[in-house]
Chain A
Amino acid sequence: MNNGLAKETPIFQEPFNQTILRKVTATPAITIKNLNVRIGDNHILNDVNLTIPEKSITCIIGPSGCGKSTLLKTLNRMHDETPEVKISGEVLVDGSNIYNAGVEVIDVRKKMGLLAQRPCPLPMSIFDNVAYGPRIHKLKRRKALNQTVIQYLQYVGLWDEVRGRVRTSASRLSIGQQQRLCLARGLAIEPEYILGDEATSALDPISTRKIEELFVRLKEKYTIILVTHTLRQARRISDNVIFMYMGKIVESGATEEFFNNPKEQLTKDYLSGSFS
């Protein structure tokens, strides 16, 4: 799967590098074919076809209600929880369709760490939040669990802030800390993908920057797909951009190319702020 391209991927500081353009042709981690999502008579996603390259950050942008969150939810099959949602088409993750009969939804979700719009700690301690995933999937034995939790808390830069109170309620953390906790919780299930649904929209600028820095660091190991409202964020951290409008993919491509030379009139209008 790793054909060496990913290793050469330039780090965040130099986004205007031609290798990014080539990344689009890099190994696709997720391929979506003829995806249609309907809720009742509403056609939310209309014939979506796209590929998401591995070990990179892909941002999905578009105006409110364009279907970007719906698209994200199809990736970890969260629509399974709402029976009204009808899905057709294929979502190939690592080459196999996650909507095939016989695919366990739990196996799909275990591969995807989700970061929601508002951080939502589970009603338990900081430690138990991070240990939640490993415990239900029986990933670690009790002793190793301590180490795992500390490791992920360190990874998201939370350990030093909470080390004396990991057994206290997670809801007492600040919003920014909570979001980093949620990221640690998601990483602890050892996923291959990270999905972010406007993961920084509820955060202050400093917390936002911390999360963004984490994403950039994480793309070495994970394939990251972010839904975002802020164009600047997409520009800052993404390698590839997907622009959606009214349930359809309007344009997608490498970030720099996308922002500098948009091909579609609709994209130009959106980027110039004609509508949002």
Chain B
Amino acid sequence: MQKIRNFKDKTARQVMLGIAIFSLLLLVIIGTSLFLKALPIMKEKNLWVLLTSSNWKPFKGDFGFYPFIISTLYVSLIAIIIALPLSILTSIYLYAYSSDSVKKVFEPVIDLLSGIPPVIYGVWGTLTIVPLIADKIAPHFVEFSSGYSVLAGGLVLAIMILPLLISILLEVFRSIPAEMTDASLSLGATKWQTVKKVVLRKSFTGIIAATVLSVSRAFGETIAILMVCGNIAVIPHSIFDACYPLPALIANNYGEMMSMPGYESALMLGAFLLFIIIVIFNGLSRVALNQIEKRYSF
């Protein structure tokens, strides 16, 4: 009996280890295959030129990825700048202030929002956000904007990551022991003082982790962005200019014009760059989080 039990235990352990390794390998496999596909273009052109040139003329064989990289970062940055304060305030309200009946209405709706397909956000963005920017907002700042812009992409993306951020932040806040907030309240602190000095402080690393997760999602968001960004391969000079993030580039062009020499390989390089951006971003933020935890752990 003993032997069979031990055998079962060992096998289960090894099977699970295998599965865990497989999911780790997936990352390597995807990375490698993208890299191999992108290799021809990297051999043909100078990688530095590919990354820093803003010349995108596939017909002539010019593949400059700079505008796409900038667009990806720009749109995601705008999105997080808009979404983070909104989501922190919303989740603070739901966590500390709202009555149970309000929570019962809001929380399912927020979950529902994160379940809406991106294409619907895209259509809505095209019908509402784009004209709003073109007619109402942009004229105050620039001479002309079609509305299809960095700002439109950032806004739509912000709205898309908002529910994700809110639900993670709520979890982060709710993991704070009630004794801690009670301690602050019993000292005569108001709710807002408690939130500001205890809750936000205690959940600082959690907030950063939530931000990293939603920015990673923002980097990869494709359809909705593609519909409102304008998709012009130039470096955007203001938030009212059109832009062309990497995922949109790949989704728009993969499968078409593949006969063009180097084009497939270039698109694969785009995919590989996106992959690398996300890996580096996650890695860096993990290091940063560790540092913060070490230095400011309370």
Contact of B297 with A83 in the complex, beta carbons under 8 Å:
no
Question: Which B-chain residue is minimally distant from A135 (CB atoms)?
Answer: B197
Please tell me if A85 contacts chain B, counting CB pairs below 8 Å: no
- Give the interface size bracket for B toward A: 20 to 34
Please tell me if A182 contacts chain B, counting CB pairs below 8 Å: yes
A11 to B: closest C-beta gap in Å: 29
Which of chain A's residues have a CB closer than 8 A to the CB of B182?
78, 81, 114, 116, 120
Contact of B183 with A116 in the complex, beta carbons under 8 Å:
yes
Complex partner residue of A132 from B100, B179, B197, B202, CB under 8 angstroms:
B197
Question: Which A-chain residue is minimally distant from B296 (CB atoms)?
Answer: A169
Contact of B297 with A169 in the complex, beta carbons under 8 Å:
yes
A79 to B298, CA, bound (A): 28
Known contacts A83-B99, A169-B298, A123 near B186 by CB under 8 Å: no
A112 to B: closest C-beta gap in Å: 7
Known contacts A123-B198, A123-B202, A171-B298, A118 near B188 by CB under 8 Å: no
Contact of A112 with B186 in the complex, beta carbons under 8 Å:
yes
Please tell me if A125 contacts chain B, counting CB pairs below 8 Å: yes
Please tell me if A6 contacts chain B, counting CB pairs below 8 Å: no
Which of chain A's residues have a CB closer than 8 A to the CB of B177?
120
Contact of A189 with B187 in the complex, beta carbons under 8 Å:
yes
Question: Which A-chain residue is minimally distant from B198 (CB atoms)?
Answer: A122
Contact of B298 with A136 in the complex, beta carbons under 8 Å:
no
A-B contact count (CB 8 A): 73
Contact of A170 with B188 in the complex, beta carbons under 8 Å:
no
Please tell me if B258 contacts chain A, counting CB pairs below 8 Å: no
Which of chain B's residues have a CB closer than 8 A to the CB of A137?
188
Which of chain A's residues have a CB closer than 8 A to the CB of B183?
114, 116, 120, 122, 182, 185
A1 to B198, CA, bound (A): 37
Q: B180-194 CB contact bits vs A (8 Å, 1 = yes)? A: 101111111110010
A23 to B47, CA, bound (A): 88
Please tell me if A103 contacts chain B, counting CB pairs below 8 Å: no
- Give the interface size bracket for A toward B: 20 to 34
Which of chain B's residues have a CB closer than 8 A to the CB of A189?
187-188
Contact of A120 with B180 in the complex, beta carbons under 8 Å:
yes
A81 to B197, CA, bound (A): 18
Contact of A185 with B179 in the complex, beta carbons under 8 Å:
no
Which of chain B's residues have a CB closer than 8 A to the CB of A133?
187-188
A14 to B143, CA, bound (A): 89
Please tell me if A53 contacts chain B, counting CB pairs below 8 Å: no
Complex partner residue of A109 from B99, B185, B297, B298, CB under 8 angstroms:
B185
Please tell me if B217 contacts chain A, counting CB pairs below 8 Å: no
A44 to B129, CA, bound (A): 54
A276 to B202, CA, bound (A): 38
Please tell me if B37 contacts chain A, counting CB pairs below 8 Å: no
Contact of B185 with A78 in the complex, beta carbons under 8 Å:
yes
Which of chain B's residues have a CB closer than 8 A to the CB of A114?
182-183, 186-187
Complex partner residue of A186 from B99, B180, B187, B297, CB under 8 angstroms:
B187
Question: Which B-chain residue is minimally distant from A195 (CB atoms)?
Answer: B186
Contact of B188 with A106 in the complex, beta carbons under 8 Å:
yes
A269 to B: closest C-beta gap in Å: 33
Please tell me if A110 contacts chain B, counting CB pairs below 8 Å: yes
Question: Which A-chain residue is minimally distant from B187 (CB atoms)?
Answer: A133
A189 to B187, CA, bound (A): 7
Q: B185-212 CB contact bits vs A (8 Å, 1 = yes)? A: 1111110010001100110000000000
Contact of B201 with A123 in the complex, beta carbons under 8 Å:
yes
Q: Which residues 91-138 in B have Cβ within 8 Å of A in the complex?
A: 99-100
Which of chain A's residues have a CB closer than 8 A to the CB of B100?
83
A51 to B182, CA, bound (A): 26
A211 to B175, CA, bound (A): 29
A43 to B181, CA, bound (A): 26
Question: Which A-chain residue is minimally distant from B201 (CB atoms)?
Answer: A123
Which of chain A's residues have a CB closer than 8 A to the CB of B198?
122-123
Please tell me if A124 contacts chain B, counting CB pairs below 8 Å: yes
Please tell me if A76 contacts chain B, counting CB pairs below 8 Å: yes
Contact of A123 with B187 in the complex, beta carbons under 8 Å:
no
Which of chain B's residues have a CB closer than 8 A to the CB of A123?
180, 198, 201-202, 298
Which of chain A's residues have a CB closer than 8 A to the CB of B180?
120, 122-123
Contact of B187 with A136 in the complex, beta carbons under 8 Å:
yes
Which of chain A's residues have a CB closer than 8 A to the CB of B202?
123
* Most chain A C-beta atoms within 10 Å of own C-beta, residue among B177, B189, B198, B202: B189
Which of chain B's residues have a CB closer than 8 A to the CB of A107?
188
Contact of A124 with B186 in the complex, beta carbons under 8 Å:
no
Q: List 8 A–B pairs whose Cβ atoms lie within 8 Å, in order of A's numbering.
A: A81-B185, A106-B189, A114-B183, A114-B186, A120-B179, A124-B197, A124-B298, A132-B197
Interface residues of A (CB under 8 A from B): 76, 78, 81, 83, 106-107, 109-110, 112, 114, 116-118, 120, 122-125, 132-133, 136-137, 169-171, 182, 185-186, 189
Question: Besides the contacts A114-B182, A133-B188, what 10 more A-B pairs have beta carbons closer than 8 Å?
Answer: A109-B187, A109-B188, A110-B188, A120-B179, A122-B184, A124-B201, A124-B298, A136-B188, A186-B187, A189-B187
